[in-house]
Every structure is written in structure tokens, then in C-alpha cells.
Structure 1
Amino acid sequence: MEHLKRLAEIRNQIERLKVEAEAIEPDAILEGFEIMESEKSRKNVVFNDDNAKIVIQLRTRYDDKNLTVIRLDEDINREYDKLCRSNATAIANSESYLNDIKEMLTEAETKHEALLTSPYLETLRKQRAIEIKKTEHKVPGLAVYVHYLKR
């Protein structure tokens, strides 16, 4: 049981270190920006040694709670609703046409599938499933559940 115990200890340590890394990441980002500013570097590599290379990544995010964006969303919804009302008959006809086409497509796919099926092919597939089932075997592995330690 020494290997199981050691594995559990290592996994627990990994989880604690992940929590610690997440806690210091904001300060590390600030430190990285200070390094970029002091070195006037165009490269975003702020740390590099034998253990790791750390790069500042700037991901694009948007604020959808912005008042202008909210108003534009409302205007878009109003205009969309207006178009739906004013074009209701044409939209209904278009939807009916689309449904007819979908039915024709379903029918064509069914015919296509029928052309690619035979009793012999189905028998071969069943035999294959039986043969593949005969090769079934178990492969050992470990599931490790780490108990998080509270600080």
C-alpha cells in the first residue's frame, strides 16, 4: 500500500499547489506587466528559466453590461419584432416551404439509406459485433480522489 499512499499524497499536494498558484496569479500578472514596462520589451515573455517560460497573454473580453450595448440590443430586438410582424405572411409561407423541403430531404435520406442496406450487410455487422465482444478485456487503472485540505 505504500505506492497508493504516496500517489494520494502527491495528488493532494498537486491540488494544494494549484490553489496556491491561482491565489498568487493576479500579483504575478502585475509583476509581469512591471517587467514588460521596465524592459520596454515588445515580447510578452516575462520569465524564462529551466523550470518554465511565462508569457503575458492578453485575451479580448467585452462588457455586455455597457449601457450603449444594452440600448443597441433593445433596438435590435424591437426592429426584429417589427420585421416579424410586418412580414408575418411571407415568413409563414417561407417556413411552410422550408418544412416541405425538410420532408423531401427526409424522404430522400430514407431512400438513400435503403439503397445502402441489405440483410447480408446487417448479418455481417451483427457477426462483427459478436466477434468484437469476444475480445473484451479489462485494463487496470487507478482513480484518485483527492481530499482537499482546508487551510
Structure 2
Amino acid sequence: MEHLKRIAEIRNKIERLKVEAEAIEPDAILEAFEIIESKKARKNVVFNDDNAKIVIQLRTRYDNENLSVVRLNEDISREYDNLCRSNATAIQNSQAYINDLKEMLAEAETKHEALLSSPYLENLEKQRAIALNKTEHKVPALAVYVHYLKS
């Protein structure tokens, strides 16, 4: 039980350290920008020692709640609805044509599959499944569930 207890303790410590790292990340980002501004960074590397190399990354994010974006989304939706209403007959005809093509494609695929199957091939596949089943074995692994303990 000593190894199981130790791995549980380690995983718990890892989770606590993750929480701690997330808490100080905003301040670390500010510090990284200060290093960039002082031109002490090379290629956005703001920290580098024997333990780690830290690079500042700028990820693109968008604000979907922005008033102009919300209005444009509404305008797009309204225009789409208008197009659907004004082109209803043409859209219906085109959908019918698409459905006909899908049916033809399904028939062609069925014929194709029939050309690529035989009782002998099916028998070989069954034999392979049986042979593969005989090789089944269990591989041990540990599932560790960490209980976050407040310090």
C-alpha cells in the first residue's frame, strides 16, 4: 500500500500546485510583458533556466457579445430568412434534386460493396476476428482520483 498511498499524495500535490499556478498566472503575464517592454526577451522567451523555458504567447480571441457583432449576426440571420422565403420554390427543387442524387449514390455504393464481397472473404474476416479474440489480454494501469485538500 505504500506505493499507492505515495502516488495518491503526489497526484494531490500536483492538483494543488496547478491551482496555485493558475492563481499567480495573471501576475506572471504582467511580469512577462514588463520583460518584453524592457527588451530583455529574445523571441518572446521571458524566462529560461534549468527548470523551464517560458514563452509569452498571444492567442487570438473574439468577443461575440460585442454590440456591433451581435447586430451583424442579427442582420445576417434576417437576410438568410429573407433569402429562404424569396427563393422557396427554387430551394425546394434543388433539395429534391439533391435527394435524387443521394439515392443514386446510395444505389451505386450498394453495388460497389456487392462487387467487393464474397462468402470466402466473409469467412476469412470471421476467422480473423476469432484469432484476434484469442489474443485478448489485460494490461494493468492505475486510475488515480485526486481529492483536492485545502491547505
- TM-score under structure 1 length normalisation: 0.95
1:40 CA displacement: 6.2
Question: Secondary structure at the residue paired with 2:136?
Answer: coil
Structure-2 change in CA distance of 1:147 and 1:78 (3 Å) = same
User: Distance between the aligned counterparts of 1:112 and 1:37, measured in 2?
Assistant: 64
* Counterpart residue number, 1:60: 60
Amino acid corresponding to residue 97 of structure 1 in structure 2: Y
Match of 1:114 in 2: 114
TM-score by length of 2: 0.95
Alpha-carbon distance in 2 for matches of 1:98, 1:69: 34
* Worse overlay, 11-20 or 33-42: 33-42
Equivalenced residues, count? 151
1:54 partner SS:
strand
Structure 1 stretches of 4+ moved >6 Å: none
Report what 1:39 is aligned to. Answer: 39
Q: How does 1:2-151 map to 2 (within 5 A)?
A: 2-39=2-39, 41=41, 43-151=43-151
Residues 41/7 of structure 1: CA separation in 2 closer, same or farther (3 Å cut)? closer
- Alignment RMSD (CA, Å): 1.2
Percent identity over paired residues = 82
Gaps of 5+ in 1: none
Structure 2 stretches of 5 or more lacking a match?
A: none
Q: CA deviation at 1:143?
A: 1.2
